[in-house]
Amino acid sequence: MRRMIGLGLLVVAGAATISATQSPEQKPNVAEIEKVRDNLFMIKGGGGNTAAFVTASGVVLVDTKLANWGPAIMDKVRSVTDKPVTMIVNTHTHGDHTGSNDYFPASVEIVAHKNTKANMQKMKQFEGDNKKFLPDRTYKDRKTLLKGADRIDLYYFGAGHTNGDTIVVFPTLRVAHTGDLFARPATPLIDVNNGGSGVSYPDTIRKAATSIKDVDTVIPGHTPTTTTWAAFAEFGEFNAAFLAATKEAMSAGKSVEDAVAGLKLPEKFKDYGMQGAKDNVTKIYAELQAK
């Protein structure tokens, strides 16, 4: 009880300090945590979804959100375990997934696909002294980290959102974190500047969906709820249908505008967000024309 009173006073004092000295934008970032399995959690807010996997030797984080979200991540990790963070996996290069790498001690091992490391090396946030927050270990097609119940499998199947998208699988828990290869059920962002490809996207997901076995639950890159492996596979079909419709419009000689206006996808994709349709048709046209 004494502890609760103390906390209450702290909160009041903290609020007073904030209102006196800081604008609302400078309020401390606060994340949310959701249990996915007994030792696997999803930390939401501040950019991409972070996974926190509590192993025998420490906590493995998948993605570190935007810059300045380290304390918010650790606050939620501390609500479920006292173990230290020992490893970070970055699913891809973007600043809303790698932004708080620099909050963690340089001794924390950072792992990513080799193309993601190359992409991160081009980012301002990893220049100079911050090079120490770049990945320490990389891989090409597949990599296994840790052992037994703590085993983590990393998979790369080709270009999609970027050219270094890792799918992180926790095999004993039958859960995968897909990063932004599957951010949400909507037209994906195709980051051509970081090697993304709208032409390869459907194949990349199809390969992943058929090669990776025994996953039931998916932590997507951005949707703040878990979803299913079937939804991930269906997202691949959505991208295949989108690519087919775009190719058809292009061979019919349609402009990008006409292609977007006439884009018809099967009824089962009616709930998918189409905000990125024009952007993706433009990029797929450019990619096909360059071939």
Residues that bind Zn ion (CB under 5 A): 94, 180
Q: Between 220 and 236, whose beta carbon lies closer to Zn ion?
A: 220
Closer to Zn ion at the Cβ: 66 or 72? 66
Nearer to Zn ion, 76 or 92 (CB): 92
267 three-state secondary structure: helix
Q: Distance between CA atoms of 162 and 140, rounded to whole angstroms?
A: 14
Q: Is-contact 110 140, C-beta < 8 A?
A: no
For CA atoms 201, 206, 207, 213, the dihedral sign is positive
CA pseudo-torsion sign 137, 118, 49, 206: negative
| Least spacing, CB of residue 147 vs Zn ion, in Å | 30
CB of 33 to Zn ion, least distance (A): 22
- Write down the least CB distance from residue 164 to Zn ion, Å: 11
Contact (CB, 8 A) for 277 and 260: yes
Least gap, CB of 160 to Zn ion (angstroms): 10
Rg (Cα) of the chain, in Å, rounded? 21
Alpha-carbon dihedral 172, 180, 86, 212, rounded to 10 degrees:
30
Choice between 133 and 254, CB closer to Zn ion: 133
Phi and psi torsions of 33, nearest 5°: -125, 145
Shortest distance (Å) from residue 179 CB to Zn ion? 7
Q: Residue 184 or 247: which CB sits closer to Zn ion?
A: 184
Classify residue 268 by its DSSP letter. Answer: G
Distance of closest approach, residue 177 Cβ to Zn ion, in angstroms: 13
CB of 274 to Zn ion, least distance (A): 19
Question: Which residue lies nearer to Zn ion by CB, 95 or 171?
Answer: 95
Residue with Cβ nearer Zn ion (65 or 94)? 94
Burial class for 163, CB neighbours closer than 10 Å (0-12, 13-18, 19+): buried
Nearer to Zn ion, 94 or 117 (CB): 94
Residue 39: partners with Cβ closer than 8 Å, 6 or more residues away? 53, 54, 55, 173
- Smallest CA-to-CA distance from 163 within 179, 145, 187 is with 179
Q: Is residue 68 within 8 Å of 29, Cβ to Cβ?
A: yes
